[in-house]
Structure 1
Amino acid sequence: MWTDKQRGIRVSQEELLCKNACGYYGNPAWQGFCSKCWREMVDLPGGHRQDSRASNDGTPLTFSKFEEKKNTEKGRRINTMRRLFWGSPSAPKHQETSESLAHALKAYQSLEPGDFPGFLKILRSPPSQRLQSQCTAFLKTVEAYHALPVQKQSDLVQDFYQSFAEHFNSFSEVQVTHIMEHVEKLVMTRLHKWVFCHDSCDDEQKDLALQRRIRALNWVTPQMLNVPFSNEKSTVTNDSFLPALTALIEMDAKRAPQDKLACVSKCSHHVFEVLSTSNSEPTNADDFLSGLIYVVLKANPPRLHSNMQYVIRFGLPHSLMAGESGYYFTNLSCAVAFIEKLNGPALNLSSEEFEAYMLRKSAPSVENKRQQVASGTRHLLEELNGRQEKLDQGMDDLNAQLQNWVQAVNSQLDEATAKLTLVQKEITTQNEVFSSSSHNASPQRGEKHLLMQKLTDEQAGPKDTEC
C-alpha cells in the first residue's frame, strides 16, 4: 500500500554530504558544509573583509600580506594557548616533556574504549600530572571568562581538543578518537553550565519558537508524512515509536556532547526497528527521515535547538563529520529544518487548508480519515480474498490427491487379498497331501520300532532278579 505512494520527503546521500565534496557529512546549521569547511569558509571572508580595505598609504593589501597577517594571528593564538596551559609564553623543555609523558602515554595505550573511570584514574596519576594541569588550567580559564561570546568559547574548546590530541600523535587514529572522547566528556561536563544556552546567543528564543512551531503541527499524521507505519491501531501513549520519543527527550538531560549524540543514535535505531517490523520492504533513507520527523513532532523535545547547537559548537569534529553518529545527527538537523519550513504542498494539502489547520480554525476532517481507513480496509479485503482463493484452490488440489491416493490404496488391498487367497489355497492343498502320506507310513514305522526294541533286549541279557 505504501509503495504506490509518492514520497514527499526525499533526501539523497549526496545531499547529506558536505557541499565542498570533502567526503564528510554536512549540516543545515553550517549551510550544508561540514564543520571543518564551514570554519574555513567563515574565517576566509572575514580575513578578506579586513584585508580588502585600503592601507594607510592608499594602496590595497596584497595576498602575501593577507597570508602574513593570517600566520601572525595563528601564532598569537598558539602563544595564547601556551600561556594558558604552561603559565609562560615559552613551552616547557623538550627533555622534561618527553620524560614526563613517556610513561603516561604507555598507560593510555592500554585504555579500553568507554572506560571513563579508567581514564580519570590514569589522568590523575603522577606521570600524567602535566596533562592534568593542562586540563585544569583550561577549565579554570574558561570558567573565569565565561562571559565571552559563545563562538569564542567554541573556538577555545576546539583549539584545546587539537592541542591536547597532539600529545598522542604516535597513537593510531582509533586510539586517539577514544582518548579524545574521554577528554570531551571530562571538559564539557564541567563547562556545561557555563556555555550551554549562553546569554550571548539567541538559543533560548529559538527554542521557544521551535516548540511553538512543533506544538502547532500536532495535527500532522504519519500518513501525511508518508511514513510506512499505520497508527490507527494504537494511541500515542502506546505507540511503537515510544522508545524513540523517550530517547530523544532524554537528550536534554545529558551534559557531554557525545552523550547527547548517543541519545540521537538510540532514537534513530528505534525508528529503524519500528519501520522494519511494520513494513515488509527494507527501510530506505526516505522512510527513515519521514519517521524521524514524525518522532520529533510527537516528542517536541525541550530545548532542541540549544542541544543541537551545543553539540555543533563543543562536540568533537569527527563525531559530526563521519560515522553513524554523524549520519543520524545530520538527519536530525534535516528533520528540524524540514519542520521549520513545512508547508501545505509538502503534506499534499493546499495553502488554505494548511493555514486553517495551523490557526486551529479547522482540523483534518474525519471524512478524510475514514476514507484513508476505508482504503486500507479495502486493500486488506482484496488481499484476504486473494489468499482465500489460493486456499480454496489448494484444498481442491488436496482433495484430488487424496482421492487418487485412496484409489491406489484400495487397488493395492485388492491385489493383496487375491494373492492371500491363492496362498491359502496352496497351503491347504499341501497340508492335505502331507496328512495322507503320513497316515500310510505310520504302520511300517511301528514295526520298525518293535524290532529295534527286541534287538535291544537281546543284547542286554537276562535281567537280574531280587534275592
Structure 2
Amino acid sequence: MWTDKQRGIRLSQEELLCKNSCGYYGNPAWQGFCSKCWRERMRPSEAHRQDARQSSDATPPTFSKFEEKKNMEKSRRINTMRRLFWGGPSPPKQEPSDSHMSVLKAFQNLQPGDFTGFLKVLRSPSSQRLQSRCTTFLNTMEAYHDLPVQKQSDLVQDFYQSYAEYFSSFSEAELTQTMEHVEKLIMTRLHKWVFCHDSCDDEQKDLALQRRIRSLTWVTPQMLSVPFPDVQSSITGDPFLPAITAIIEMDAKRAPQDKLVCVSKCSQHVFEALSNSNSEPANADDFLSALVYVVLKANPPRLHSNMQYVIRFGLPHSLMAGESGYYFTNLSCAVAFIEKLDGPALNLSPAEFEGYMRHRRGPGAAGSARQQVAEATQHLLDELTCRQEKLDRGVDALNLQLQKWVQTVHSQLDEAASQFSTVQKDPTESSLLSPNSAPTGEDLKEQVVLTDQYAGPNDSDC
C-alpha cells in the first residue's frame, strides 16, 4: 500500500507566502509569517506580559504615580534611542540642504557591491554625522552585548529603520543598495558578539540538527524524487557538488547578506543541475526536493545558527521578497522537512524507515548512489572490453594475412629454385649429344646392339 503514495515534497507557492496574506514570504521560524507581521504580532504580547508583571506587584500604584512612571519610562527610552542613533540625548540638528544633497549624491554614485567606496564616502567630512551614528551604535551594542539576543535583534532592526529615514528620497533600488552596505558594516563588527549568543539555545539545536542529518545519510535522490542523470549520460560524479560547496561556505561569512549570497548560489547551482539532469524544466517541487538532498549531503556546519543569525539581524526586505527571500524560505522549509522526516515522506513503511534509521537495512540497489557509481564503472568496463575484443579480432586477422603472405613468398621461392636447377642441367646434357640433333631412344638402343656385336673376346672379359 505504500507504493501508491506520491513521493517527493509538494509545496505550493501560496504555502511559501506569509499567513497574513501581505504578499511577502513567510518563514517557519516566524510560524509562517513574514518578519514584519511577526514583529507586529509579538509586540502586543510583550506589552501584555509587561503589564501583567506590573499588575502583579504587591502595592498597586495610584493612577497619578502610574502615569508619572509611564512618562519617565517613555522619556528614558527616547533618550536611549537618541544616544544610540545620534550620539547624544538632544535631537539632531538639521543639516544644510546643500550638504545633505552632496552626501546623498555621493552615495547614489556608488556602484552595486562597492563596499570599499561606501566606506570612503562614509568617512568623508560631509558624512561625519552618519559615521558618528554608526560608531556610537556599535560601541553601545558591544558594551551591552550581554543583553538577550532578541533584544539585540530589535535594537539592530530599529537602527536599520532609523538609518533608512536619512535616505528616504532614494529610489527603492538605491535604498536597498545603501542599506546593504550599512548592514555589512554593522554586522561584520557585531558578528562575534551576537552570533550563537549565550542567551539562546542555538548551539544545542545545531548539534541536534547535525545528528539528525548524519542519521539520514542513507536517503537517496530516488527516495526524494530528485531527477538524477542516467548512467548513459556524459555527466560524471555528483551534479549537485557545486551546490553542496556553496551551502558549506555560508558559515565562513559574517554579514547576513553574504550568507544569503551563498544560499542564492547554492540554489542557482541546484537549478543548473536539475536542468542538466532532466530534459523538462525544473519546477518548484523538484527544486525543494533537490535542496533537501543537498542539505543532507552537505550537513552544513552551524546551519541553525546561521539561519537564525540572518533572520534576526538581516535586512527585512532581503527575506520578505525577491530572489534571496524565495531561496531562503525554501531553505527553511527544507530544514523543517528534514527535522520531521518520516517513512511516508519517502514512500517507506514505518518498519522500513526504522530499519534504515537503525542501520539494519541499506538503500536498494536501484536507489543507492554507490550502486550507481558501480553501474557506471561497469558500463565503462564493458565498453573497454568490447574495444579490446575488437582490437584482438583485428590482430588475429592481421596475423592470418601475414601467414598467407609468408606461405605465398615461400612457394614463389621454391618455384624459382626449381626453375633455376632445371636451367643449370640443360647445358650439361646438350654437350653429350651431337651438335645438330639430339639422339632419340631408338638410336641409343641401336648403338648398344652394335657395340655388343663387334666387341672382341678380350673386351668381353674386361
Q: TM-score, normalised by structure 1?
A: 0.72
Asked which structure has the greater RCO (Cα within 8 Å, sep 6+), the reply is 2
- Give the equivalent residue in structure 2 for 1:21: 21
* 1:162 and 2:137 are equivalent in the alignment: no
Instruction: Supply the AA of the counterpart residue of 2:167.
Output: F
Alignment of 1:53-92 (within 5 A): 76-92=76-92
Structure 1 pair 152–280 and aligned structure 2 pair: CA distance change class (3 A): same
The alpha-carbon deviation at position 279 of structure 1 amounts to 0.9
Kept in 2, the 8 Å contact 1:184–1:316? The answer is yes
> Where does residue 251 of structure 1 map in the other structure?
250
User: CA–CA distance in 1 between the matches of 2:104 and 2:140?
Assistant: 25
Closer, same or farther: CA 232–355 of 1 in aligned 2, 3 Å: farther
Deviation of 1:176 after TM superposition, in Å, equals: 0.8
Deviation track 1:162-193 (CA, whole Å, cap 9, x = no partner) reads 11111111111111110000000111111111
The SS at the match of 1:346 is helix
Whether the aligned pair in 1 keeps the contact of 2:156 and 2:313 (CA below 8 Å) is yes
State the superposition RMSD in angstroms: 3.3
1:39 corresponding residue in structure 2: 39
Question: Alpha carbons of 1:49 and 1:143: their partners in 2 closer, same or farther (altered >3 Å)?
Answer: closer
Matched, 1:288 2:287: yes
Shift of 1:208: 0.7
Q: Say if 2:125 is the partner of 1:152.
A: no
Cα deviation for residue 46 of structure 1 reads 2.2
- Percent of aligned positions that are identical: 77
Alignment of 1:90-109 (within 5 A): 90-94=90-94, 96=95, 98=97, 101-109=100-108
Report the CA distance between 1:21 and its aligned residue: 0.4
* 3-state SS of 2:131 partner: helix
Counterpart CA distance in 1 for 2:189 and 2:13 is 36
Deviation at 1:92? 2.6
Higher mean alpha-carbon deviation, 216-225 vs 108-117, is at 108-117
Counterpart position of 2:276: 277
8 A Cα contact 2:7 2:346, kept in partner: no
SS of residue paired to 1:201: coil
Q: Greater Rg, structure 1 or structure 2?
A: 2
Distance (whole Å) between structure 2 residues aligned to residue 126 and residue 215 of structure 1? 54
| Alpha-carbon distance in structure 2 between the residues aligned to 1:110 and 1:347 | 52
1:119-155 per-residue CA deviation (whole Å, 9 max, x = no partner) reads: 0110010000010011111111111111111111111
- In structure 2, the CA distance between the partners of 1:11 and 1:85, relative to structure 1 (3 Å rule), is same
Cα distance between partner residues in 1 of 2:366 and 2:110? 62
Shift of 1:9: 0.8
- The residue aligned with 1:426 is none
Seen in structure 2, the aligned counterparts of structure 1 residues 11 and 75 have a Cα distance that, compared at 3 Å, is farther
Matches within 5 A, 1:232-381: 238-366=237-365
Aligned to 2:215: 216
C-alpha contact (below 8 Å) 2:229/2:278 kept by paired residues: no
C-alpha deviation, 1:276, in angstroms: 1.1
In 1, Cα distance between the equivalents of 2:48 and 2:275?
51
What's the offset of the Cα at 1:71? 9.8
Deviation of 1:75 after TM superposition, in Å, equals 6.3
Secondary structure (helix, strand or coil) at the match of 1:238 reads coil
Q: 1:320 to 1:73 in 2, by over 3 A?
A: farther
Query: Is the 1:244–1:271 Cα contact (8 Å) retained in structure 2?
Result: yes
Aligned residues: 366
| Alpha-carbon contact 2:220-2:368 (below 8 Å) kept | no
Compared CA separation, residues 132 and 87, structure 1 to 2 (3 A) = closer
1:193-220 Cα shifts (integer Å, max 9, x gaps):
1111111111111111100100000000
Partner Cα separation in structure 1 for residue 89 and residue 215 of structure 2 = 56
Distance 2:143 2:52 in 1: 35
Q: Which runs of 5+ in 2 are unaligned?
A: 61-65, 377-462
Cα shift at 1:67: 13
Q: Which amino acid aligns with 1:113?
A: P
Question: Structure 1: how far apart are the matches of 2:335 and 2:70?
Answer: 36
Q: Which amino acid aligns with 2:85?
A: F
User: What displacement does 1:18 show?
Assistant: 0.2
Q: 1:204 touches 1:303 (CA, 8 Å); kept in 2?
A: yes
1:329 to partner: Cα distance = 0.1
Shift of 1:5: 8.9
For 2:88, the aligned partner's letter is S
Closer, same or farther: CA 368–309 of 1 in aligned 2, 3 Å: closer
Change in Cα spacing, 1:28 to 1:184, as seen in structure 2 (3 Å) is: same
Q: CA deviation at 1:88?
A: 2.8
Return the letter of the residue paired with 2:173.
Answer: V
Q: Deviations over 1:279-321 (max 9, x none)?
A: 1111110000000000000000100000000000000000000
Cα deviation for residue 49 of structure 1 reads 3.6
The residue type equivalent to 1:37 in the other structure is: C
| Offset of residue 240 of structure 1 | 0.8
Q: CA deviation at 1:50?
A: 3.8
Name the aligned partner's letter for residue 40 of structure 1. E
Q: TM-score, normalised by structure 2?
A: 0.73
